[in-house]
Chain A
């Protein structure tokens, strides 16, 4: 299990133990964290699991697959540290990862 810290747009913080191998999106959905919609269910085709990764964590994540940036173009207020949480797989190296949730997904 790996600790992932989800921070909602209103500041509400959720520290969740997520099983390795799940995505950051699945960790949020399975634990009913508001602010991650994941309409397409992890298919990288909807941009409604958009997160902002805390700056010092951003370079430590796996690189983006081709296509992720194309979807992020369509996200609500994407920034330089934006990711799709369905594309970030949880592993020991991400213990303590902090992700901020956008004001809304659509």
Chain B
């Protein structure tokens, strides 16, 4: 079990800066995020889009902002637990026991939820009939591509994931690529490659079609697709792959007994604590009168939540307010040499 002063859920800008603020006041923290990389929405949704409203930074991309925050928290050697999700929490005396999906356990007096609008999950096929094959022959990510060898694989989607896997799997599987419109949004080189493969009969493409039904008794047999006029087609399939991007879901957080208001968590604006002692919420996931869903608000909220964590992490100490410009103690924490 990992003991820490605070566990942060979410490695987006808000979670990262909260980690910085915890470090500044001398507290340790660990960060869990469902994505396989640091940066949250900034890195998953808009790594290349410029942001213009970070104070004192006229323009930066989501990726640059993330990299700068990572640089800023380096002195604190924070542990990240990526591709994992907090599943269960349980109160034990003054602490929370936190269990993740992958089986990690934390013991901490403070949980800071900086989960944005939830954890990113693959968007699934809209047809209910697909559910019973989910995880077996209807898949939304690929762990072992060898299972597709010499099989019929139907791929849905028009982005890079769909195109890249269509190209890769066409080498040793019978691939059908299906997309709802004529245009693909993936890289042009991949689009060209897919069309060339189609010309050489290495794969089949149906555009302006979407899924109607997944058929099979126990075992997946075929998918039925339909066009805008309702004409349908049956395609035999051993596997169906769906690449419809990611959606954000609150997931297990909903089961922790927190007050929830329209997918957000009400907090007090002094410490950003929720209705549960020792659980804080900051960034897009929290709500209060006047809440702005801006990164800069998340920074402010994280700074105050860190101070809120202090009283549970160091119940016998008094927190002194110090500036980074003048405090030797703070500068030591930042790894700066004082001579």
Do the two chains bind? Answer: yes
Q: Which residues of A contact B (CB under 8 A)?
A: 37, 39-41, 43, 45-48, 69-70, 73-74, 76-80, 106
In Å, the complex CA distance between A90 and B118 comes to: 29
A–B Cβ pairs within 8 angstroms, 18 of them: A39-B118, A40-B41, A41-B284, A43-B46, A45-B46, A46-B45, A46-B117, A46-B247, A69-B183, A69-B185, A70-B158, A70-B159, A70-B185, A73-B245, A74-B244, A77-B210, A79-B228, A106-B123
Q: A43-B45, A73-B159 are in contact. Are A78 and B247 (CB under 8 A)?
A: no
Q: Considering only CB atoms, which chain A residue lies closest to B46 in the complex?
A: A45
Q: What is the number of residues of chain B that contact chain A, defined by CB distance less than 8 Å?
A: 25
Contact of A73 among B46, B157, B263 (CB under 8 A): B157
Query: Assuming the A-B contacts A39-B248, A73-B185, A106-B247, are A45 and B45 also in contact, with contact meaning beta carbons closer than 8 angstroms in the complex?
Result: yes
Is A73 touching B247 in the complex (CB atoms < 8 A)? Answer: no
Which B138-161 residues have C-beta < 8 A from chain A? Answer: 157-159
Q: Does B249 contact A (CB under 8 A)?
A: yes
Residue of A nearest to B248 (CB): A39
A78, B46: Cβ atoms closer than 8 Å:
no
Determine whether the beta carbon of B245 is less than 8 Å from that of A77.
Answer: no
Taking the closest CB of chain A, its distance from the CB of B44, in whole angstroms, is 9
Are B126 and A77 in touch, CB under 8 angstroms? yes
Contact A47 B245 (CB under 8 A): yes
A81–B228 CA distance with the chains assembled, in angstroms: 11
Majority SS at the chain B contact face: loop
Q: Give the 3 A-B CB pairs with smallest separation, nearest first.
A: A74-B245, A70-B185, A45-B45
Q: In the bound complex, do residue B45 and residue A69 qualify as a contact, i.e. CB atoms below 8 Å apart? A: no
Residues of B within 8 A of A80 (CB): 228
Tell me the B residues contacting A by CB distance below 8 Å: 41, 45-46, 117-118, 123, 126, 157-159, 179-181, 183, 185, 210, 228, 244-245, 247-249, 263, 284, 293
Contact of B158 among A43, A48, A73 (CB under 8 A): A73
- Which residues in B have their C-beta under 8 angstroms from that of A40? 41, 45, 117
For B247, list chain A residues within 8 Å (CB): 39, 46, 48, 106
Q: Which residues of A contact B157 (CB under 8 A)?
A: 73
Cα separation A74 to B123 with both chains bound (whole Å): 8
Residues in A neighbouring B117, C-beta threshold 8 A: 39-40, 46
Chain B contacts for A47, CB-based, 8 A: 245
Alpha-carbon distance between A37 and B180 when the two chains are bound, in angstroms: 23
Residues of A within 8 A of B159 (CB): 70, 73
Query: Given the complex, which residues of A lie within 8 Å of B180, measured CB to CB?
Result: 73, 78
Most buried by B among A39, A73, A79, A106: A73
A76 to B263, CA, bound (A): 19
| A70 / chain B contacts, CB cutoff of 8 Å | 158-159, 185
Instruction: Pick the residue among B158, B210, B293 that contacts A41 (CB under 8 A).
Output: B293
Given A40-B41, A45-B45: A106 and B228 within 8 A (CB)? no
